[in-house]
Amino acid sequence: MTNVPDKIQTWQMATPFRKDRETGEVTPGKLEKAEIAVPELKPGEVLVEVAGCGVCHTDLGYFYDGVPTVSKPPLTLGHEISGTVVAGDAKWVGKEVIIPAVMPCRQCILCKTGKGNRCLGQKMPGNSMGIYGGFSSHIPVPSIDLCEVKDRGDIPLEHLAVVADAATSPYQAILRSGFKMGDNAIVMGIGGIGQYIVQELKAMGANTVIALARRQEPLDKMLLNGADFAVNIKDKSSRDVAGEIKAIRKEKGLASTDWKIFEATGSKPGAELALSLLSFTGTMVVVGYGAYKIDYALSRLMAFDAEIKGTWGCLPEYYPTVLGMVTGKKINISDYVQTRPMSTINEVFEEAHAQSPEKRIVLVPDF
């Protein structure tokens, strides 16, 4: 094989940021260029040449906020990866692939009962696969969960990195809601995850999708990409928002029951608003992560015959469906992704940490 390297080039997290518990003093973390050996591939493993790796909120959590990785640093972060297989399992060599962000063990009771997305033994690049992660030139991974990229047309392979995480977790969340064609939905928050929930709901045959957010520009863009209605919630009470949604229901003659509500902000106000909108036979799915606690009268669930559910990751089996929505242009990724050279990783992390970028940043190896 001509494309097999002597060494893997990588940007390792040497040390994450550390905050002293007593003094509150912060020791800055470091992402450093490193060279590591190409491991001997085990049967069923392949070496993937990375085309792009997306910067996810989770990576920032590991680096800045003391969220521990399963494999201890130094390790390479990054779990949103697309690339080309260059060695290993012969039937994969030369193929373009997406590496699922979480790969189930396929042995445990959860895996055997269709809940492998929450397998407790799952492997995740840039977290629990030793030193290997996506912010590298190459990564060794098992081939069993790879999603082959076919007919990508004019979509760059590096853009498809977002299918590894940002675009697939929403699909699992939608299935988790019990969504059926013709259902109505509200999506609270249209950032990296929420905007794909909106797009995929519509692609999957939702009747009406209402997007809620605090900034007008992304809401306007969402109206071009799947949302039927956009409600700007800035400085509005939950009563005001409920009133606007009621007006939309009236205008379109929609039922008040059985709405699917997705909380994708990971914030307390977002969750409170979503809960206030949950009504008769509705389902709320918690997609966003935040360390808040909330007051809620659980008896409302009883009275409404309603449900609140959590959702985690996405089964590798669903990746081809999501990829098909992207390559079939049923969902738009091009307007929601930007690429940067991987050598700017330190600046990019700082930028994304300071403010969540409007377009997902995918780092492209330039070693």
How far apart are alpha carbons 83 and 99 in whole angstroms? Answer: 8
| Smallest separation, CB 197 to Zn ion (Å) | 15
In order of 19, 189, 231, 233, the CA distances from 236 in angstroms are: 36, 15, 10, 5
b/e per residue, 115-135, with b = 16+ CB within 10 A?
Answer: ebbbbeebbbbbbbbebbbbb
| Smallest separation, CB 257 to Zn ion (Å) | 34
Which of 239, 248, 244, 296 minimizes the C-alpha distance to 272? 296
How far apart are alpha carbons 52 and 191 in whole angstroms? Answer: 20
Q: Which is nearer to Zn ion, 291 or 298 (CB)?
A: 291
Q: Which is nearer to Zn ion, 75 or 111 (CB)?
A: 111
Structure-token pair, residue 146: 């790879």
How many Cβ atoms from other residues are within 10 Å of residue 255's Cβ?
Answer: 11
Q: Which is nearer to Zn ion, 278 or 326 (CB)?
A: 326
Q: Which is nearer to Zn ion, 289 or 304 (CB)?
A: 289
| Smallest separation, CB 182 to Zn ion (Å) | 31
Q: Which is nearer to Zn ion, 41 or 60 (CB)?
A: 60
Do 277 and 259 touch, CB atoms closer than 8 A? yes
The angle formed by the CA atoms of residues 159, 91 and 158, to the nearest 5 degrees, is 10
Q: Which is nearer to Zn ion, 119 or 139 (CB)?
A: 119
| Smallest separation, CB 340 to Zn ion (Å) | 17
DSSP 180: -
Task: Specify the residue for token string 């082959």.
Answer: 148
Please list, in sequence order, all residues whose beta carbon lies within 8 angstroms of the beta carbon of residue 25, skipping any fewer than 6 positions away: 19
| Smallest separation, CB 336 to Zn ion (Å) | 15
Structure-token pair, residue 240: 């005001």
| Smallest separation, CB 102 to Zn ion (Å) | 9
Q: Which is nearer to Zn ion, 56 or 326 (CB)?
A: 56
Structure-token pair, residue 277: 């909108």
| Smallest separation, CB 97 to Zn ion (Å) | 18
| Smallest separation, CB 100 to Zn ion (Å) | 11
3-class SS of residue 260: strand
**Hey, CA dihedral for 192, 194, 200, 202, is it positive or negative?**
negative
Q: Which is nearer to Zn ion, 44 or 328 (CB)?
A: 44
The residues that touch Zn ion, with contacts defined as CB under 5 A, are 56, 58, 104-105, 108, 111, 119, 121, 165
